[in-house]
Amino acid sequence: MIYQVQHTTTYTYPGTVSVCHNVVYLRPRESAQQVCTCYELIVLPEPGVSSHYVDFFGNAVTFFAVQEPHRTLTVTARSTVEVTPHPVLQPDATPAWEAVRDMLHHERSAAGLEVVQYLFASPHIPCSARLRRYAAASFPPGQSLLTAVLDLTRRIYTDFVYDPQATSVSTPLHDVLRARRGVCQDFAHVQIGCLRGLGLAARYVSGYLVTQPPPGQPRLMGAYASHAWVSVYCPGYGWLEVDPTNNMLPSDRHITIAIGRDYSDVSPIKGVLLGGGQHTMQVAVDVVPINM
């Protein structure tokens, strides 16, 4: 599938901002299943300084600085991206999860060390015995890795309630686990914490999920939002993705933007500013298929 994506973020300030510096993670990531054929970033007011680079995790990043007084900042990313389905895997064909755990803990190769960094705690995902205990029911001895991961994905989907009012970016993960409520970011953090607690390498994937309107209803402009899911490493297969919010394997309707340890590594826009006061933010995302 080929999609046109537009992601617009508007910040409004009660006072004047004299200068702001920002980094943006909005360009679709390149992979075997995804190619970004066109991308542009439009910032108003126009930045005085901008640059592009690839971060430690291989994500495309734009830095910009607006150096004129302003009370509104609008950041619009437009892209065209082609997504192909992931290969279909037989869960029972993957190795036992304990074998994967043991391999990772003895890995010393350069390629292996890149994977091993996803075994440890990160800013939003602490090491947690509570998460490990929650995960244990899905990981009996000898269970194949993907079979166990899919069962954990199903349990998170069943046990947790999607509630945009229940959490914020700063809500501790233990509070999410206790309340069993949150959004896709929280569910991804829970699953990653569970997997890392068992000694498995797991990382956070940010992007978009292309949804279909109800039968007979028009597609709502701006109705999409950023999405998040999980990938877990399996020797011989690479990174395997699962979506705990929807209890599914990502397909050609999942558009990947960035990958990191957790949300803090891949927040769509983050930065610092001088002045302005308490701002309000509005986000509108449109994803339009251009071939069926």
pTM of the shown model: 0.94
Tens digit of each residue's pLDDT (9 = 90 or more) over 193-234: 999 999 999 999 999 998 877 777 776 665 678 999 999 999
- Which pLDDT value is given to residue 88? 86
A 10 A CB-CB count for 6 gives: 17
Amino acid residing at 230: V
Q: Name the residue among 255, 219, 282, 247 with its Cα closest to residue 84.
A: 255
**Average pLDDT, whole number, for the chain?**
93
- 3-class secondary-structure state, position 3: strand
- Which pLDDT value is given to residue 219? 66
Domains of the chain in sequence order: 2-84+267-289 (2.60.40.2250), 91-250 (3.10.620.30)
50: burial class by Cβ within 10 Å (0-12, 13-18, 19+)?
middle
CA distances from 87 to 43, 184, 292 (A): 37, 24, 20
Task: Annotate 155-182 with b (16+ C-beta within 10 A) or e (fewer).
Answer: bbbeebeeeeebbeeebebeebbeeebb
Tens digit of each residue's pLDDT (9 = 90 or more) over 237-252: 999 999 999 999 998 9
Q: In this structure, are residues 78 and 42 in contact, taking their beta carbons and an 8 Å threshold? A: yes
Confidence band, pLDDT 50/70/90 cuts, at residue 86: confident
Amino acid residing at 198: L
